[in-house]
Homo-oligomer: A and B are copies of this chain.
Amino acid sequence: MKEIRQLGRHSYVFSPYLEPIASVQPGEEFVIYTKDAFEDQMVSEQQKPTEVLGEYLNPQTGPVYVEGAEPGDTLKVNIIDIQPTRDWAVSLFIPFFGGLTSTHATRTLQEPLPERVFIYKIEDGWVTHNNRLRFPWRPFLGTIGTAPFLEALSALTPFDHGGNMDVPDVKPGNSVYLPVNVEGALLFTGDCHAGQGQGELCGVALEVAARSTLSVELIKGKKVRWPRIESVEEYMVVGSARPMEDAARIAYTELVEWMTELGWDKWEAYQALTQIGDCYVGNMVDTYYSMVAKIRKEYVHP
Protein backbone atom coordinates (compact mmCIF):
# COMPACT_ATOMS: atom_id res chain seq x y z
CA MET A 1 0.00 0.00 0.00
CA LYS A 2 1.24 3.46 -0.87
CA GLU A 3 2.59 5.37 2.13
CA ILE A 4 2.51 9.16 2.01
CA ARG A 5 4.84 11.17 4.17
CA GLN A 6 5.48 14.87 3.84
CA LEU A 7 8.54 15.59 1.68
CA GLY A 8 10.48 18.55 3.06
CA ARG A 9 8.51 21.28 4.74
CA HIS A 10 4.90 20.66 5.73
CA SER A 11 1.98 22.59 4.33
CA TYR A 12 0.55 25.33 6.54
CA VAL A 13 -1.97 26.55 4.02
CA PHE A 14 -4.63 24.82 1.96
CA SER A 15 -3.24 26.17 -1.27
CA PRO A 16 -3.74 25.56 -4.98
CA TYR A 17 -0.21 26.88 -5.52
CA LEU A 18 1.75 24.02 -3.94
CA GLU A 19 3.32 21.09 -5.77
CA PRO A 20 1.72 17.73 -4.97
CA ILE A 21 3.82 15.45 -2.78
CA ALA A 22 2.07 12.29 -4.02
CA SER A 23 -0.76 11.14 -6.21
CA VAL A 24 -3.46 8.52 -5.69
CA GLN A 25 -6.02 6.77 -7.84
CA PRO A 26 -9.72 6.73 -7.08
CA GLY A 27 -10.47 3.46 -5.32
CA GLU A 28 -6.91 3.05 -4.10
CA GLU A 29 -6.28 2.58 -0.40
CA PHE A 30 -3.30 4.48 0.94
CA VAL A 31 -1.63 5.36 4.20
CA ILE A 32 -0.86 8.94 5.19
CA TYR A 33 1.36 10.01 8.07
CA THR A 34 0.66 13.24 9.92
CA LYS A 35 2.50 15.20 12.59
CA ASP A 36 0.55 16.69 15.46
CA ALA A 37 -0.74 20.28 15.35
CA PHE A 38 2.44 21.58 16.98
CA GLU A 39 4.88 19.78 14.69
CA ASP A 40 5.53 17.29 17.49
CA GLN A 41 7.39 20.00 19.42
CA MET A 42 5.36 20.03 22.62
CA VAL A 43 6.72 17.02 24.48
CA SER A 44 6.94 18.00 28.14
CA GLU A 45 4.84 19.68 30.80
CA GLN A 46 7.84 21.85 31.62
CA GLN A 47 7.65 23.61 28.24
CA LYS A 48 5.90 26.93 27.75
CA PRO A 49 3.79 27.05 24.59
CA THR A 50 4.57 30.74 24.03
CA GLU A 51 8.28 29.96 24.00
CA VAL A 52 8.09 26.96 21.70
CA LEU A 53 5.38 27.74 19.18
CA GLY A 54 5.94 30.08 16.26
CA GLU A 55 4.00 31.07 13.18
CA TYR A 56 4.01 27.61 11.59
CA LEU A 57 1.08 25.76 13.12
CA ASN A 58 -1.09 22.80 12.24
CA PRO A 59 1.19 21.14 9.66
CA GLN A 60 -0.65 19.28 6.95
CA THR A 61 0.49 16.35 4.89
CA GLY A 62 -0.22 17.22 1.29
CA PRO A 63 -1.19 18.22 -1.24
CA VAL A 64 -2.07 14.79 -2.56
CA TYR A 65 -3.09 14.81 -6.22
CA VAL A 66 -6.12 12.66 -7.04
CA GLU A 67 -5.93 11.29 -10.56
CA GLY A 68 -8.85 12.33 -12.70
CA ALA A 69 -10.25 14.94 -10.30
CA GLU A 70 -11.49 18.03 -12.10
CA PRO A 71 -13.09 21.26 -10.90
CA GLY A 72 -16.80 20.61 -10.44
CA ASP A 73 -16.36 17.09 -9.07
CA THR A 74 -16.77 15.92 -5.50
CA LEU A 75 -14.04 14.04 -3.68
CA LYS A 76 -15.23 11.32 -1.31
CA VAL A 77 -12.63 10.42 1.28
CA ASN A 78 -13.18 7.15 3.14
CA ILE A 79 -11.54 7.05 6.54
CA ILE A 80 -10.65 3.43 7.04
CA ASP A 81 -8.33 3.45 10.00
CA ILE A 82 -6.38 5.78 12.29
CA GLN A 83 -3.47 4.59 14.44
CA PRO A 84 -1.27 6.69 16.69
CA THR A 85 2.44 6.62 15.84
CA ARG A 86 3.42 7.31 19.41
CA ASP A 87 2.08 6.37 22.85
CA TRP A 88 1.18 9.86 24.06
CA ALA A 89 -1.01 12.82 23.22
CA VAL A 90 -0.78 16.44 24.27
CA SER A 91 -3.20 19.27 25.04
CA LEU A 92 -2.31 22.88 25.82
CA PHE A 93 -3.69 26.06 27.27
CA ILE A 94 -2.42 28.76 24.89
CA PRO A 95 -2.83 32.44 25.86
CA PHE A 96 -5.71 34.17 24.08
CA PHE A 97 -6.80 30.98 22.34
CA GLY A 98 -9.86 28.92 23.22
CA GLY A 99 -13.58 29.06 23.79
CA LEU A 100 -13.68 30.58 27.28
CA THR A 101 -11.17 33.37 26.85
CA SER A 102 -10.89 36.55 24.84
CA THR A 103 -8.92 35.91 21.66
CA HIS A 104 -7.26 37.67 18.75
CA ALA A 105 -10.70 37.76 17.09
CA THR A 106 -12.75 38.58 20.21
CA ARG A 107 -10.51 41.19 21.78
CA THR A 108 -10.66 42.53 25.31
CA LEU A 109 -8.23 44.34 27.59
CA GLN A 110 -8.09 41.41 30.03
CA GLU A 111 -5.10 39.31 30.98
CA PRO A 112 -4.84 35.86 29.36
CA LEU A 113 -5.57 32.58 31.11
CA PRO A 114 -2.49 30.72 32.37
CA GLU A 115 -0.63 28.64 29.80
CA ARG A 116 -0.16 24.95 30.54
CA VAL A 117 0.80 21.61 28.99
CA PHE A 118 -1.05 18.34 29.61
CA ILE A 119 0.73 15.16 28.52
CA TYR A 120 -1.48 12.07 28.19
CA LYS A 121 -0.46 8.43 27.95
CA ILE A 122 -2.21 6.34 25.27
CA GLU A 123 -2.67 2.77 26.46
CA ASP A 124 -5.26 0.01 26.28
CA GLY A 125 -7.76 2.18 24.46
CA TRP A 126 -7.53 5.02 26.96
CA VAL A 127 -5.86 8.40 26.90
CA THR A 128 -4.77 9.24 30.44
CA HIS A 129 -3.25 12.27 32.14
CA ASN A 130 -4.24 11.41 35.70
CA ASN A 131 -7.13 9.63 37.38
CA ARG A 132 -9.53 12.50 36.58
CA LEU A 133 -8.39 13.37 33.08
CA ARG A 134 -8.82 9.98 31.47
CA PHE A 135 -10.76 9.49 28.25
CA PRO A 136 -11.39 6.77 25.69
CA TRP A 137 -9.34 6.58 22.48
CA ARG A 138 -11.72 8.11 19.93
CA PRO A 139 -9.46 9.19 17.07
CA PHE A 140 -10.39 11.44 14.17
CA LEU A 141 -8.79 13.83 11.70
CA GLY A 142 -9.15 17.40 12.98
CA THR A 143 -8.15 18.88 9.63
CA ILE A 144 -8.94 17.60 6.16
CA GLY A 145 -9.78 19.41 2.96
CA THR A 146 -9.06 20.24 -0.64
CA ALA A 147 -7.38 23.28 -2.16
CA PRO A 148 -9.59 26.35 -2.60
CA PHE A 149 -9.96 27.81 -6.08
CA LEU A 150 -7.93 31.01 -5.76
CA GLU A 151 -7.17 31.44 -2.10
CA ALA A 152 -4.49 29.82 0.02
CA LEU A 153 -6.15 29.47 3.42
CA SER A 154 -4.37 28.90 6.71
CA ALA A 155 -4.43 25.32 7.97
CA LEU A 156 -6.02 26.81 11.12
CA THR A 157 -9.14 27.82 9.15
CA PRO A 158 -12.20 25.71 8.39
CA PHE A 159 -14.38 26.79 5.49
CA ASP A 160 -16.24 25.36 2.50
CA HIS A 161 -13.16 23.41 1.37
CA GLY A 162 -13.05 21.56 4.69
CA GLY A 163 -9.85 22.47 6.53
CA ASN A 164 -9.60 22.77 10.29
CA MET A 165 -13.17 21.70 11.07
CA ASP A 166 -12.34 19.81 14.28
CA VAL A 167 -15.45 17.68 13.87
CA PRO A 168 -15.30 14.36 15.77
CA ASP A 169 -17.36 12.60 13.09
CA VAL A 170 -14.39 12.70 10.68
CA LYS A 171 -13.51 9.27 12.05
CA PRO A 172 -12.86 5.70 10.96
CA GLY A 173 -15.87 4.15 9.30
CA ASN A 174 -17.14 7.47 7.98
CA SER A 175 -16.71 9.21 4.63
CA VAL A 176 -16.15 12.91 3.99
CA TYR A 177 -17.33 14.62 0.80
CA LEU A 178 -15.26 17.61 -0.29
CA PRO A 179 -15.49 19.99 -3.25
CA VAL A 180 -12.96 19.68 -6.08
CA ASN A 181 -11.95 23.25 -6.95
CA VAL A 182 -8.77 22.59 -8.90
CA GLU A 183 -7.35 19.84 -11.06
CA GLY A 184 -6.26 16.90 -8.94
CA ALA A 185 -8.38 18.11 -6.01
CA LEU A 186 -5.21 18.59 -3.89
CA LEU A 187 -6.11 16.82 -0.67
CA PHE A 188 -4.46 17.84 2.60
CA THR A 189 -4.91 16.32 6.05
CA GLY A 190 -3.39 16.51 9.51
CA ASP A 191 -4.19 17.45 13.11
CA CYS A 192 -5.18 13.98 14.29
CA HIS A 193 -6.98 13.97 17.62
CA ALA A 194 -6.93 11.02 20.03
CA GLY A 195 -10.28 12.38 21.17
CA GLN A 196 -12.15 15.66 21.52
CA GLY A 197 -15.36 16.95 23.01
CA GLN A 198 -17.90 18.95 21.01
CA GLY A 199 -16.57 22.49 20.72
CA GLU A 200 -12.87 21.70 21.41
CA LEU A 201 -13.34 24.00 24.36
CA CYS A 202 -9.84 25.15 25.31
CA GLY A 203 -8.83 25.08 21.64
CA VAL A 204 -6.51 22.09 21.85
CA ALA A 205 -7.75 18.51 21.68
CA LEU A 206 -5.74 15.37 22.48
CA GLU A 207 -3.17 16.04 19.78
CA VAL A 208 -1.32 13.10 18.36
CA ALA A 209 0.89 12.06 15.42
CA ALA A 210 -0.83 9.40 13.38
CA ARG A 211 -0.87 6.91 10.54
CA SER A 212 -4.23 6.98 8.77
CA THR A 213 -5.54 4.64 6.10
CA LEU A 214 -7.75 6.35 3.58
CA SER A 215 -9.19 5.79 0.14
CA VAL A 216 -10.74 8.29 -2.24
CA GLU A 217 -13.55 8.17 -4.78
CA LEU A 218 -14.70 10.71 -7.32
CA ILE A 219 -18.23 11.83 -7.98
CA LYS A 220 -17.96 13.40 -11.38
CA GLY A 221 -19.73 16.58 -12.45
CA LYS A 222 -21.36 17.46 -9.18
CA LYS A 223 -19.64 19.53 -6.54
CA VAL A 224 -20.77 19.75 -2.92
CA ARG A 225 -20.81 23.33 -1.71
CA TRP A 226 -19.88 22.48 1.86
CA PRO A 227 -18.28 19.38 3.41
CA ARG A 228 -20.60 16.45 4.01
CA ILE A 229 -20.06 13.40 6.18
CA GLU A 230 -21.72 10.03 5.86
CA SER A 231 -21.71 7.34 8.50
CA VAL A 232 -23.49 4.01 8.43
CA GLU A 233 -26.44 5.61 10.20
CA GLU A 234 -26.37 9.33 9.46
CA TYR A 235 -26.08 12.11 6.89
CA MET A 236 -24.21 15.17 8.15
CA VAL A 237 -23.14 18.57 6.83
CA VAL A 238 -20.46 20.83 8.32
CA GLY A 239 -20.93 24.60 8.13
CA SER A 240 -18.11 26.92 9.22
CA ALA A 241 -18.71 30.63 9.81
CA ARG A 242 -19.05 33.34 12.44
CA PRO A 243 -21.24 34.11 14.27
CA MET A 244 -22.10 30.54 15.24
CA GLU A 245 -25.71 30.81 14.05
CA ASP A 246 -24.42 31.44 10.53
CA ALA A 247 -22.52 28.15 10.72
CA ALA A 248 -25.68 26.37 11.89
CA ARG A 249 -27.71 28.01 9.12
CA ILE A 250 -25.22 26.81 6.50
CA ALA A 251 -25.17 23.28 7.88
CA TYR A 252 -28.93 22.91 8.02
CA THR A 253 -29.55 24.63 4.66
CA GLU A 254 -27.10 22.29 2.96
CA LEU A 255 -28.72 19.32 4.69
CA VAL A 256 -32.08 20.43 3.27
CA GLU A 257 -30.32 20.55 -0.11
CA TRP A 258 -28.88 17.05 0.35
CA MET A 259 -32.32 15.68 1.20
CA THR A 260 -33.82 17.27 -1.92
CA GLU A 261 -31.08 15.58 -3.96
CA LEU A 262 -32.28 12.33 -2.36
CA GLY A 263 -35.82 12.98 -3.55
CA TRP A 264 -37.35 15.01 -0.76
CA ASP A 265 -39.58 18.03 -1.20
CA LYS A 266 -37.74 21.06 0.16
CA TRP A 267 -40.48 22.04 2.60
CA GLU A 268 -40.93 18.54 3.93
CA ALA A 269 -37.18 18.34 4.45
CA TYR A 270 -37.30 21.61 6.43
CA GLN A 271 -40.13 20.16 8.50
CA ALA A 272 -38.39 16.81 9.04
CA LEU A 273 -35.16 18.43 10.23
CA THR A 274 -37.18 20.56 12.64
CA GLN A 275 -38.54 17.46 14.31
CA ILE A 276 -35.70 14.93 14.07
CA GLY A 277 -32.47 16.72 13.02
CA ASP A 278 -29.50 17.09 15.34
CA CYS A 279 -26.99 19.91 15.50
CA TYR A 280 -23.80 20.06 17.53
CA VAL A 281 -20.74 22.27 17.83
CA GLY A 282 -17.59 20.98 16.12
CA ASN A 283 -15.36 23.80 17.24
CA MET A 284 -15.98 27.12 18.98
CA VAL A 285 -12.34 28.19 18.90
CA ASP A 286 -11.06 28.39 15.33
CA THR A 287 -11.13 31.31 12.89
CA TYR A 288 -14.58 30.09 11.92
CA TYR A 289 -16.83 28.07 14.22
CA SER A 290 -17.95 24.70 12.82
CA MET A 291 -21.45 23.34 13.31
CA VAL A 292 -22.63 19.86 12.28
CA ALA A 293 -26.26 19.30 11.26
CA LYS A 294 -27.36 15.72 10.85
CA ILE A 295 -30.22 13.32 10.40
CA ARG A 296 -30.47 9.58 10.83
CA LYS A 297 -30.84 7.71 7.54
CA GLU A 298 -33.90 5.83 8.77
CA TYR A 299 -35.81 9.13 8.65
CA VAL A 300 -34.49 10.01 5.20
CA HIS A 301 -35.35 6.60 3.73
CA PRO A 302 -38.40 5.60 5.75
Contacts and interface: CB of A to CB of B under 8 A. Distances in A.
Given A102-B108, A107-B250, A151-B154, A268 B132 contact: yes
A235 interface: no
27 contacts: A12-B150, A91-B271, A93-B267, A100-B108, A100-B256, A101-B110, A102-B102, A108-B110, A109-B253, A131-B302, A132-B272, A132-B302, A135-B299, A150-B152, A150-B154, A151-B151, A199-B273, A199-B277, A199-B279, A200-B274, A205-B274, A205-B275, A242-B245, A244-B248, A278-B280, A279-B281, A279-B284
Nearest to A294: B198
A264 interface: yes
Copies of this polypeptide in the complex? 4
Contact of A197 (B15, B149, B197, B275): B275
Interface string A176-215: 0000000000000000000111111111111000000000
A86 interface: no
Interface of A: 12-13, 15, 17, 55, 91, 93, 99-102, 105-114, 116, 118, 127, 129, 131-135, 149-154, 195-206, 241-246, 248-250, 252-253, 256, 264, 266-268, 270-281, 284, 289, 291, 293, 299, 302
A242 B199 CA distance: 17
A272 B133 contact: yes
A51 to B, nearest CB: 19
B197 A277 contact: yes
A166 to B, nearest CB: 11
A113 B291 CA distance: 24
Contacts of A102: 102, 108, 110
The 6 closest A-B pairs by CB, nearest first: A243-B243, A244-B244, A197-B277, A152-B152, A201-B274, A107-B253
A106 to B, nearest CB: 5
Contacts of A93: 267, 270-271
